[in-house]
Structures are given as C-alpha cells and as structure tokens.
Structure 1
Amino acid sequence: MYVDQTTLDYLDRAETLYDDLVGVIADDGTEYTYGEFAERVHRLSNALTELGVEEGDRVALLSPNTHYFLETIYATNQLGVVNVPMNYRLTPEDYEYILNDADATAVIADYELAERVEEVRDEVPTEHFVGYEADGIEGDWLDYETLLDDASAERPDRPDIAEGDDATVNYTSGTTGDPKGVVRTHRTEHWHALVLSHHMEIQEDDTYLWTLPMFHCNGWGHVYAITGTGGTHVCQREFDAAGTLERIRTYDVSYMCGAPTVLNRLIDYYESNDVGATTGDRDLRITTAGSAPPRATIRTIEDAFGWRLIQIYGLTETAPIITTSNSPRRLADGDPTTIKTKQGHAALNTEIRVVDEDGRDVPRDDETVGEIVVRGNQVMDRYLNKPDITHEAFNDRASGFFHTGDLATMDENGMIAIQDRKKDIIISGGENISSIDVEDTLFDHPDIAKAAVIPVPSDEWGETPKALVVQKDDAALTEDDVVAFARENMATYKAPTSVEFVESLPETATGKVQKYQLRQEYWEDEERMVGQG
C-alpha cells in the first residue's frame, strides 16, 4: 500500500496519542500539552490563511529557540506553504538576499531580531510582517499572539499535499561563500526524522533540550522526531552554559545536541565554577556534529560530565544525518574515544562512498583520501533557483550521488573520518596537510580554547599552515610556544609556521568556523586562493 509521507504525520501522531501530555516547555517555563500545542498550530494556520497566504507560498521565519518556531513550522506545512527558517546571526543584507531569493510572501520574526528585516523591508517582495511581541518592534508589524487569539482553533482544511511537494527551504550556513537555498520535500524531511529517531534512540519519554539552533536543518530533524515520538521539547532561547545545566537538572533532560562550540563552553563553565550535578535523575546523551571533537573534549564530556556522546555527520543538503559513530558493536572493537573522533558509518537506507577524482572508490585503508558522496531518501531535492549548481552537485565525480565537498578516508568497517573540506586541504611543498589534524593537536594544549588552521601564501612552499588561536583566560602564550608544541606532537611539516592570537573566530550558528573569511584576508592580493607550491 502506498501512502504519501509528509511532515504532518509527526504532528498528527502527537495530537492523537499525546494530547494530554506536556509536549512543549517554553523558554519562560510555560507548559503546553500536545493538544494545546496543536490548537496553537491550527490557529496560526487559519490566521495565515486570513492574511491571504496560499498553498505554494513561502513564509520566512526568524527566531531563536522558541515554541513559536515549532508552531510556525507545522502551521505552514499543513497549508502546503513552504517555510524558510533563517539563520539569526546574519546581517540585514543577508536577509534581503534570502527573502528575494525565496520570494517570501510573509516573514514571522522574533522581537529581538525583527529590526534586521525592517531595515530592508522596502527591498524585498514580502507582503506580511508578523512579530512575536510586536509592540517591541519598530515599524508596522502584526502581533503573533493577537493573530492567534482572533483565529479559529479548528484544524484547517488541508490541501492535497504530496510527499514530493516542497516543505522547507534551508539556506546553507555559508562556510564557502553565499548561502544556497536547499529545497527539502515532505518526503526528505519525513525520512530525515525517521533515520534520526532510530540512530539517536529517541523514545516517547525523552525530554529534549534545545541548545541546537532550530533553524539549522529544522533542528537536525528534531522538530519532527521529538514531536512524533511524543517526547518533550524544552526551549532555551539562547544558549548559555549555566542556563543549560539548570534546565538539565530542573526538567531531567535525557537528550540534547551541541555543536563543538557548545561543548567547549560547557567545559569552560564546568572548569571555572562549582557546577554540582550535570544530570537530573536520568542518564543524558548528547549528539554533536561537524568536525569531530578533540579527544580531550570527548573524555571530559563522558568522564567528568557523565554524558554519552554521539558523533554524527551531514550537511544542510543531507538534513543532516548520513553517518553516525553510535555503533556499539564497532565500539567494542577498539578504543571508544578514537572511534568517536570519526564521523562513523552510513545511516539506515543511506549509501556512502569515498571516491577519487575519477569517481572510483578509494581503498578502505583508513589512509587514502577521497570525496564523500551520498545518496539516500533524506538528501535534498535541489538548490533553489540554481539548476546548474544542482546538476554539478549530483554529477561531478559520481553520477546520481550528492557530492559533499568533504574529504575523508574510509576504514575496513566502512567508517569514515573527515580529513578536511576540499578547499581547506593545505598543500605545502607538495605535501597534503589536513588542517583538522593540526587543530586537533593544538586543542590538546591546556591554554588553547579554540584554534583554526588555514593556508597562507608562502614564496618557498606555495602555501603554509597558519594557526589563529584563542587563548584561555589568563593564558600568556607566545607564537614560539604554540609552534613548539605542535612540532613536538605531530609531524614537523604539518606544524604551523606562524601564529596569530585572536579574541574570537567567525563561526556559523552551528559552530563551524568560517574559514573562507579567514583566508580572504591573507589571499586578497593573490590571483588564486591556493598556493603554487
């Protein structure tokens, strides 16, 4: 029997089975049962219809981690309207670009963020501007709660939504240039949540703490997965370590996600304060993604905090889980810390390959580097308004596979370990240097809080590694200290040849260092952003 798979399956299951159970806890502690949550979703859908928003339109969303965000995702989807979650760390110019690229009919924005949209209001095609707590927004904005109060609580008549219909457009985080609109259908989002639920072991009694930005790939799929399984969403508007630990104890949190930046901030707070308990009554597991955390970070999270860390890997285009280190049978075969520095094996119903320039699989020797390519039901449909880039993304080396742009090795067990972005491999005097290897070594220095390694021009070597380092408070490192530490702990040719101490590193909301920004400063006088070694 064939049944269309849509994102609404998750809302409908929660409303039917868990209507009397607390499903969402707002940042201020207000609790909503899933029945109450669904009613608010229906009110928003009806309000949008009254404004004239129609099936196929796009509604942009700009919000921190709030119950409003969760409501808006479902309210748009059940109307056949496409939601466009936007990164809340962008500039007004970025929002102008996105709103025009997406041709957004409406914007729903948080009171702390709306002014950035207001600045470009006259430059975008958007007709309706809705604000959470609109009284605090300069300009002509409709108030979110007033719209809900005036709207019907009955579930609206839904159009015939097919699984191949667009559900959401998530813009890339911009680590390699201008963001691209990643179009995800109801089918890709549905599969995304199913795969996530299995590998992250999500159960109906889970209490999930939102420290991961909801806008990012719809919160890595947890917007749907937690709802459909009947778990409880605990919202935290903005991450701060003290608030996170307090919520963990107060709500007996059993599951959360944290980008590497979140892990580092939690550890810094833990080491500087008398924290007390790091869990409630239940065990806690935490998922991280992006570059694998350094071994020292993994040890602290698991040994000192007592949390179980799960590493996953993916991109906005793959929404994002396509591999996971959560493989107990493999963990039994080796050192758990070492294995968790890898991105892991392919997720269910996902085909992962690591291929060379000619599209051939590299040897499974954990040494030969190739590009990760993937196909699966959770992979995006297309880039919005970019057919040529879409075609290239699916056909560059291996036809029919999405090309991630990440370079990795694969071991005999099929576990991948990312070595670098294609653009971040440093080729110095003919030797390939993985910036991740260098960064991992630097993270082991007790006085280094963060580090990014980039290639810079070199007359002798073409390009050479440079480290940009954020010191821990009260540290007094010198360039010689850092270089000497690196040379003592890794192959000397990989060690940075120069070091710059900085206050912070440019990062996306998901903790990825925007290396292209760092590189630009050093390559602006060069014809190409690659060395000719």
Structure 2
Amino acid sequence: METPLVVTDFLEQARNHYADEEAVVGADGDRFTYAELGDRVDRFAAALQERGIEKGDRVAVLDPNTHYHLEAAYGAMSIGAVFTPLNYRLTSDDYEYILSDAGVDAIYADYEYAEKVEEIRDEVPTETFITNDTERVDGEWESFDVAISDTDPDYDEPEMAEDEIITINYTSGTTGDPKGVCRTHRTETIHAYLMSIYHEITSDDTYLWTLPMFHVNGWGHIYAVTGMGATHVCTRGVNADEVVDAIREEDVSFLCAAPAVLNQLIDYYENNDQPEMSGANQVRVTTAGSAPPEATIRAVEDEFGWYLKHLYGATETGPLITISDAKRLIDDENRFEIKKRQGIGVLGTEVRVVDEDGNDVPQDDETLGEVVVRGNQVMDHYWNKPEQTEEAFNDRVEGYYHMGDLATVDENGMIALRDRKKDIIISGGENISSIELEDALFDHDAVADAAVIPAPSEEWGETPKAFVVPSNGDAENPPVSAEELTDYTRERLASYKVVRRVEFVEELPKTATGKTQKYELRKREWEDEDRMIGEG
C-alpha cells in the first residue's frame, strides 16, 4: 500500500496522540501543549490564506529558535506554501537577493531582525510582513499574535503530493549568490525518519534548540522531534550558562551543537568549578561536519558524562548522510579515532569516494577522492539554477550529488574528510564563500591581489584568512593595515563572514595560466595539522 509522504503529518501525529503533553518551552518562558501548538499553527495557516497566500507561494521565516519559528513553518506548510527559512546572520542585501530570487510572498520576522527586512521592503516582491513585536519594529508590520487571535483555526487544506517542493533552504556556494536548495515532502519526511533512527528520538525526549532552526530546517528536527511527540526547548541564542541552566532545569536529553559550541561549553565547565552538566536525563549530543578534536570528545563524554555522535552532510543532502556512531566497531582503544571520522552511510544512502574518473578509491585510508552520494533525502534541485543543478549531480559520476569534500575510506568503509575541493570555508558550522570575501577585498584601493583560504581555528574549526598583495607591492609597509581590511569586510558582509586574519605578501603562487594556487597556500597554512580541513 502506498500513501503520500507529507510533512504536515508530523504535527498531526503528535497532536493526535500527545495533545495534552508539553510540546514547546518558549524562549520567552511560554509553554504550549501539542493541542495548543496545533491550534496556533491552524490559526496562522488561516491568517495566511486570508492574506492571499496560496499553495506554492513562498513564505519566509527569519527567526531565532523561538516557538514562532515552529508555528510559522508549520502554518505555511499546512496550506502547501513553501517554507523558506532565512539565516538571521545575513545582511539586508542578502535578504534582498533571497526574497527576490525566491519570489517570497509573505515573511514572518522576529523583532530583532525585522529592521534588516524593513530596509529593503520596497525592493522585494513580498507583500505581507508579520512580526512578533510590532512595538519594537519600525514600519507597517502586522502582529503574529493579533493575527492568530483574530482568526478562526479553520483553513482550506489543499491536496499535497510528496514530490512537490515544500521548503527552500538557501546556502552559500562557491559564488557570492546563495543557492536555494529545493526539498520535497518526500525528501524531508525520509530524512526525518533517518534522524529519528540515528538520534534515537523517542516521545519522552526533551530537545534543546542550540542548532539554528534555519539550518536545513534544524537538520530536520522541526519534523523529527515533533513527529515523535518529544518536547522542544527553544532559545534565542547560544549562551553557555543559559544552555547549561536549560539542560538542568528542563531535564534535556538531546541537543545538537557545532564544535565551536562544544568548546564554549567546555570553557564554561572549566571556568565554573566543573558544574553538573545534566539534569535527570542522560544527555546525547550530536556535532557535524569537520571532526571535533579528541580533547573535545574526551571532555564531552568523560567530563560532562554525555554521549557524543558525529554526523556529516550538507544542506543539499538533508543533511544526514553518514554517522560515526557505529557501536559494533567502537571499543575503548579506538573510540576517539572513530568518533572523529565522518563515518558510514546511513540506511538507504549510497555514499562513495571517487577519483577524477568516477572510480571508487581503494579502502586504504590514504587515497583521496571526492565524496558523492545518492539517497531519498538528497535535494530535488537548486531553485532557478538548472546549470548548477546539472553540475552538482553529474560532475564526476552521473546521478550522484557531489559534496565537494575530499576524503579517504578505511577497511570498514568509514570515510574521513581530509580536504575541501570547493572554495568554501566552514567556520562554526556556517558556509562562507572565499570568492565573496575576495570580491570584497578587491574593492579596496590598497589591494592589488588577494586570495582567501580557511585557516585553522581552535574556536571555530577554521576561519577566513586573506593573503593580500598590497597596491604598492611592499608587504612590509602596505598602505593599509590588517585591522582596516578586517573592518572593511565587516562593513560589507554578514558578521560571521569577516576576514579574521590578513597576511601581506609580495605575490601569490600562480599557475602558468595565472590562476592562484590556493592549494599551496592551504598546504602551508595547515602544515602542522593532520588534514587540511577544520576541526572545531
């Protein structure tokens, strides 16, 4: 028997079976049962329809991890609108591009970030603007709470098919313009199933939102945690003492955290007389991407008493495609070595490491190849970018999404990232285009040439570093300081993209055709590391 997989079923499952159980602990302290959450979602769905939003229209959500984010997302998807979450760390120019590119019809924006949208509202096609606190926002914005209180919970639910696009997640690529990753009901649903399995989510879990909900829809946890009837504990940001307080007070059992967040928690633990790091429940934590150092894993597991899992993926892949939590392969002697690897492919997912001819590399843990993947959780396509879609799926091997990461494979088929093929820097879990940073630097009169690469960072895993040829050709006495160039990029780019380190050089290494050899710069910068990719 075949039934369509649609994401709205996750909330329906929870409200049908756990109506009176706590669904959400809001960042503002408000608490909602699944019946109450469902009612607010229904009312927001009806309010969107009253404002002319229809199936297929795009609804953007710009919000930290609050209950409004969950309500706006499910409200939009309930009427078949395409949920389009926005990174709250971007600039107004970034929002202008995304809202225009996606043709966003309505936006819900948290009061803290609405100003960035207000600055460009006359330049975008968006017509409906909703926020959670109109008193703290300039311009004509509607109140979320007033809208749902003035609206009955009845709305016209359209028929939805599992192959229809239900969410667009924008991600930074190797060029300056973000790409919209289109994901269907089917890809989101199957990915949520995988997350439920590999994160062992159950109805009595309490999940703490330190991972941004805008990141691939919170790695699918807006679906998985909801569908299992577990409790969401929301946060407005990551502050170590508040995170630890929430874990203890709410008896948190599960959270996700980038290596940089784990390091913040370790610093807090060491500087505050090693406080208790859990409540009544055993804590599981998942980190992602480039591996955390052994010292981080040791502190989290041996000092905090938590259980750590390490997964790997990308916005385009759900993200989950591999996980290091292969318990039958782990013992006391190899625990840290295995947990630092990206791991083995998850169920229903074919993960390969291939050479330039598309052939699988030997499982010798030495031969480099590019990671390629296919599975039911992989994106459908890039929004309005057919050429980039074609390349992403057919560069070395036809029909596989190409991750842009270089890895080795061991005798058990476990992959380990060693380098990055793309001009992407991943700092604290955020994708940063090195080309975008170079473009910003080139606009400065004192910069004759520049190359930006990832440099090792204990806090962030890797951080942008610029090698700059000054306009006067004198690396010892450039006409601009490193601090001035850092400030220059800060004025033009989102805060997390700022060039943190600058080294003046007389020339950049070039090929015979004049192309900058970034590989040589990376090799020099990472010579003391065992891989040329960041460990947070």
- CA distance, structure 1, for counterparts of residue 500 and residue 171 of structure 2: 15
The answer as to 2:304 corresponding to 1:317 is no
Q: Secondary structure at the match of 1:312?
A: strand
Aligned position for 1:113? 113
Aligned position for 1:21? 21
Describe the superposition over 1:53-103 as per-residue Cα deviations: whole angstroms up to 9, x where unpaired: 111100111000000001111111110100110000000000000000000
CA displacement at 1:218 relative to structure 2 = 0.3
Matches within 5 A, 1:121-520: 121-154=121-154, 156-174=155-173, 177-332=176-331, 335-423=334-422, 439=456, 443=458, 452=463
Describe the superposition over 1:440-469 as per-residue Cα deviations: whole angstroms up to 9, x where unpaired: xx84xxxx88654869599xxxxxxxxxxx
Q: Is the 8 A contact 1:175 1:516 kept in 2?
A: no
Aligned position for 2:515? 528
- CA distance, structure 2, for counterparts of residue 275 and residue 137 of structure 1: 41
Cα distance change of structure 1 residues 449 and 171 upon mapping to structure 2, 3 Å threshold: closer
- CA distance, structure 2, for counterparts of residue 131 and residue 30 of structure 1: 17
- CA distance, structure 2, for counterparts of residue 229 and residue 407 of structure 1: 35
Count of aligned positions: 471
The alignment's C-alpha RMSD in Å is 2.9
Aligned position for 1:487? none
Q: Where does structure 1 lack aligned partners over 5 or more consecutive residues?
A: 427-434, 459-498
Which runs of at least 4 in structure 1 moved beyond 6 Å after TM superposition? 515-526
CA displacement at 1:157 relative to structure 2 = 2.6
Aligned position for 1:104? 104
- CA distance, structure 1, for counterparts of residue 262 and residue 104 of structure 2: 35
CA displacement at 1:518 relative to structure 2 = 6.6
Q: Secondary structure at the match of 1:208?
A: strand
CA displacement at 1:520 relative to structure 2 = 11
- CA distance, structure 2, for counterparts of residue 177 and residue 160 of structure 1: 37
Q: Is the 8 A contact 1:208 1:254 kept in 2?
A: yes
- CA distance, structure 2, for counterparts of residue 521 and residue 101 of structure 1: 37
Cα distance change of structure 1 residues 421 and 79 upon mapping to structure 2, 3 Å threshold: same
CA displacement at 1:177 relative to structure 2 = 3.6
Aligned position for 2:473? none
Cα distance change of structure 1 residues 101 and 123 upon mapping to structure 2, 3 Å threshold: same
CA displacement at 1:153 relative to structure 2 = 2.2
Describe the superposition over 1:294-322 as per-residue Cα deviations: whole angstroms up to 9, x where unpaired: 11111111111111110000000001000
CA displacement at 1:529 relative to structure 2 = 3.7
Q: Is the 8 A contact 2:173 2:424 kept in 1?
A: no
What letter is aligned with 2:115?
Answer: E
Cα distance change of structure 1 residues 195 and 531 upon mapping to structure 2, 3 Å threshold: closer
Which stretch of structure 1 is more off in the superposition, 319-328 or 520-529? 520-529
- CA distance, structure 2, for counterparts of residue 374 and residue 457 of structure 1: 36
Q: Is the 8 A contact 2:464 2:500 kept in 1?
A: no
Q: Is the 8 A contact 1:58 1:104 kept in 2?
A: yes
Q: Is the 8 A contact 1:352 1:374 kept in 2?
A: yes
CA displacement at 1:332 relative to structure 2 = 3.1
- CA distance, structure 2, for counterparts of residue 164 and residue 3 of structure 1: 12
- CA distance, structure 2, for counterparts of residue 260 and residue 119 of structure 1: 34
Describe the superposition over 1:349-407 as per-residue Cα deviations: whole angstroms up to 9, x where unpaired: 10000000010000011111100000000000000000010011000000010001011
What letter is aligned with 2:192?
Answer: A
Which stretch of structure 1 is more off in the superposition, 249-258 or 171-180? 171-180
TM-score (norm 2): 0.82
Aligned position for 1:89? 89
- CA distance, structure 2, for counterparts of residue 243 and residue 36 of structure 1: 26
CA displacement at 1:424 relative to structure 2 = 6.3
Cα distance change of structure 1 residues 107 and 336 upon mapping to structure 2, 3 Å threshold: same
- CA distance, structure 2, for counterparts of residue 392 and residue 520 of structure 1: 34
- CA distance, structure 2, for counterparts of residue 176 and residue 517 of structure 1: 20
- CA distance, structure 1, for counterparts of residue 386 and residue 210 of structure 2: 34
Aligned position for 2:441? none
Q: Is the 8 A contact 1:187 1:377 kept in 2?
A: yes
- CA distance, structure 2, for counterparts of residue 326 and residue 245 of structure 1: 24
Q: Is the 8 A contact 1:452 1:513 kept in 2?
A: no
- CA distance, structure 1, for counterparts of residue 205 and residue 191 of structure 2: 19
Aligned position for 2:476? none
- CA distance, structure 2, for counterparts of residue 52 and residue 415 of structure 1: 50
CA displacement at 1:333 relative to structure 2 = 8.4
Q: Secondary structure at the match of 2:320?
A: coil
Q: Secondary structure at the match of 1:125?
A: coil
Describe the superposition over 1:242-294 as per-residue Cα deviations: whole angstroms up to 9, x where unpaired: 00000000000000000111111111121222352100011101000121101
Describe the superposition over 1:398-417 as per-residue Cα deviations: whole angstroms up to 9, x where unpaired: 00100010111111111110
What letter is aligned with 2:376?
Answer: N
Q: Where does structure 2 lack aligned partners over 5 or more consecutive residues?
A: 426-452, 470-481, 521-536
Aligned position for 1:485? none
Q: Secondary structure at the match of 1:247?
A: helix
Q: Is the 8 A contact 2:259 2:460 kept in 1?
A: no
